[in-house]
A and B are shown apart, each in its own frame.
Chain A
Amino acid sequence: MTSIAFRRRAQLAVLLGPVSLFLAVFFLGPLAIMIVTSFLAPGLYGGVEWTWYPHNYGRILGFADPMFEDFDPIYIAIFLRSLKIAAMTVLATLLVCYPAAFCISRLSDRWKNFCLFLITLPFFTSLIVRLFIWVLILRPTGLANEVLIGTGIVSRPLDLIYTDGAIILGMVYVFIPFMFMPVYASVEKLDWTLVRASLDLGAGPIRTFLRIILPLTAPGIAGGAVIVFIPALGNFVVPAILGGAKVMMLGNLIEQQFLAARNWPFGSALAMMVMTVMLVLLFIHVVVSGRRGFDPATGH
């Protein structure tokens, strides 16, 4: 018996050993180093000085060391603006996906699977290509303006690109699969007999929606909201392409600290802010959805 148990252990070690080592060194290790870096002082010529320096966070949150530099509210403003844009992205993505999920959940299995396939497919195509299309549509000489001018709705090209709206549109376009899947999972499980009962007992459609349908699909909405909010908050590709130089988000600020300003500790501190928001959201999500265990693949 012991030899079988021993063999199982050896097999397990072979299966787990290399992955554990790989992830410990190249995933957990870098994260730990980033956390340490965020508390170190930036060197004069772009390096890092090994002294305790919590003021990286101070520059963002407003308790900067007055001896060296004043608190600049620009960073907290960028942080809040990123939170706002991410929240609006979540809301817009939900509005786009929610009704469609109801329609698709009532289709026959064949069509259902085909629709799900069509929704997942863009996730695997190039992000940059999908965003580039929106540049062509939204820029001053782009398709949208051409159509608007051609039909006489406006006389001069509108500023469509390089706005908050363009960023949100781009993110919605990119994050649809992230929201749709969890929302769909809970819409499909919805017990329609409860809806019918509510209607039969005299509740109006709005009341039925608010009291029955919405609460029953809330887990999917919450799951989708979390997995859209997290990548939206730290996103730097979408604002870089559709926001131009006008709209700065956390992601662009982090990129700038690493590739242009070469202030790695401050950049790390900014990244830690993104991480903190992510962990807080996940924590709330796990607590609220109970001890059922969190599966990000489905959002439950």
Chain B
Amino acid sequence: MKIFATLARGSLIAYTALFFAFIYIPLALIAVYSFNANPVNMMTWTGFTTEWYAQVLGFKTKISENALYLESTSQLVEALWNSLIIATSTTAIATVLGTAIAIAVYRFDFFGRRFYRTIMFMPMLMPDIVLGIALLIFFVNSGINLGLKTIIIGQCTFLISYVFIVVSARLAGMDRTLEHASADLGANEWTTFRKVVFPQLLPGVVGGALLAFIISMDDLVITYFIAGVDVTTLPMFIFAMLRRGIKPEINAIAVMMLTFSFVIASLGLYLRSRQK
């Protein structure tokens, strides 16, 4: 019986190791192969090079003499720039609105509270293609030109939900005795909010903002439908590249994006996890 238990335990641990390998080995592979010099088959190792990175970052390389490659680099920079503009704007809007509604739902008692809580989960649960086409029909019917503006509005509809969830988790875990103490000691509501509630809330707000930023940077489906013809974001650029055929520099772009997401998301998740 003891042998069985040990065996079961061992295989469970081995399984979990495989589980993590399944998640992370592909990510590690892409990092390794982004330094592969083979320009034709990216999965056949022929030598170490940093040329693809240099290429993406716009340095002069042997390949960049080729006019075709040059063109795609300037498009890439433009796509990146668009993504950054969009992510910054959506983060600002979604953070303010998401925090406001979280405070309202968790600190006020009013008719329709349950309704608001439910409706805040809707944009997250909704398949993104449905939200994407609904927004497309809406914008076209109301005569708004598709572009950066519509992407920002469209992304906010679901990013508010993410901020709401992170901030409300923080609010739900907060100790209210401090607020009561502050009120008992004569601080007015605004002072209490500023000096007691807000400092406690801040990690949640920052965490929510970081997650909103990263999700906005990575959003493909909704953006794809409401971007119109002139604006391309980074995920759209890669999607288009993948549909045309794969070039080795995608590896380098992918690794840089992964690194960037890892850093921001780690920070966001860290802030979110510091509940107590």
Contact = CB atoms under 8 A, between A and B. Distances in A.
Determine the main DSSP class of A at the interface with B. Answer: helix
B100 A18 contact: yes
A12 interface: yes
B15 interface: yes
Contacts of A26: 135, 138, 153-154, 156-157
B242 A135 contact: yes
B137 A19 contact: no
A16 B100 contact: yes
Contacts of B41: 141
Instruction: Determine which residue in A14, A15, A37, A274 has the highest number of CB atoms from chain B within 10 A of its CB, and name it.
Output: A15
A260 to B, nearest CB: 13
Interface string A24-47: 001101110110010000000000
Interface of A: 8, 11-12, 14-16, 18-19, 22-23, 26-27, 29-31, 33-34, 37, 96-97, 99-100, 102-104, 113, 115, 117-122, 124-130, 132-137, 141-143, 146, 173, 176, 227, 230-231, 233-237, 240-241, 251, 254-255, 258-259, 264, 267-268, 271, 274-275, 278, 282, 295-297
Contacts of A146: 43-44
Given A22-B97, A133-B27, A278-B125, A31 B134 contact: yes
B73 to A, nearest CB: 18
Contact of B262 (A125, A251, A258): A125
Given A23-B160, A26-B156, A136-B33, A129 B12 contact: no
A251 B129 CA distance: 7
Contacts of A118: 20, 23-24
27 contacts: A18-B100, A22-B160, A23-B160, A26-B135, A26-B138, A26-B156, A30-B131, A30-B137, A31-B130, A31-B134, A33-B134, A97-B19, A99-B16, A100-B15, A121-B265, A122-B27, A125-B218, A126-B254, A128-B218, A129-B30, A132-B254, A234-B127, A237-B220, A254-B129, A254-B133, A264-B137, A274-B129
B108 to A, nearest CB: 5
Contacts of A231: 127-128
Determine the main DSSP class of B at the interface with A. Answer: helix
B104 interface: yes
B12 to A, nearest CB: 5
Contacts of A29: 138
Instruction: Determine which residue in B125, B214, B225, B246 has the highest number of CB atoms from chain A within 10 A of its CB, and name it.
Output: B125
